[in-house]
Amino acid sequence: MNTRHLEYTLSPLFLGTGLLRSISKSALFFGVLLIPVFGMASTEEPSQRGIHVEILGIRNSLGAVACALFESPEGFPTEFMRFATNLMMVKVRATKATCTFEDISPGTYALAVIHDENRDGKLAVNWMGLPKEGYGFSNDVKVFGGAPSFEAASFPFSGQGLKMTITLQY
């Protein structure tokens, strides 16, 4: 996998809105971000080991979805390039995308996801700094005035199979 495609950053304008903590005060998770609708970690254990994440609410088939898995609060969700345990980018096909993380040790994790529609490596924002591309977090955490905490987006992983969904917000 070519790591240059994983170098997502956020516009300084977006950071100025208070919707994100700074990623070194300026870059953001997978250009990623913010938001609980309700924990979407399923109690159903898939037959395959690992964390299997279905991304819902993708508005079109443009670009790619980037997923960052964090095992601690450090750097979540903005400093994914330095602190994410695993990073993955998958092409959107028929408005669907799935990120599968294999060989993950048992523990507590949190996920941040973005839909990079124009594949420019950044979360596109409008003139007010609000996201124009989709973003989401494990537990479908909703953000009001700042990025979610690791605790709000965290989920336990037994080391077996775990299936979850994350619904993107636009």
Q: How would you class 91 by CB atoms within 10 Å of its CB: exposed for 0-12, middle for 13-18, buried for 19 or more?
A: exposed
Residue 4 Rama label (left phi>0; alpha psi -120 to 50; beta): alpha
| Per-residue model confidence (pLDDT) at position 89 | 93
Residues 24/25/26/30 CA torsion (nearest 10 deg)? 60
> How would residue 47 be classed by pLDDT, with cut points 50, 70 and 90?
low
Segments forming the whole domain that contains residue 96: 3-167
Q: Is pLDDT at 124 greater than 50 in this prediction?
A: yes
Alpha helices in 16-157 (DSSP H): 80-83, 150-153
Percent of the chain with pLDDT over 90: 57
Other CB atoms within a 10 A radius of the CB of residue 7 amount to 15
* Number of domains observed in the structure of the chain: 1
C-alpha distances (whole Å) from 48 to each of 4, 8, 51, 102, 148 are 29, 29, 9, 9, 29
| Per-residue model confidence (pLDDT) at position 120 | 85
User: What totals of helices (H) and strands (E) does the chain contain, helices first?
Assistant: 3, 10
pTM over 0.75: no
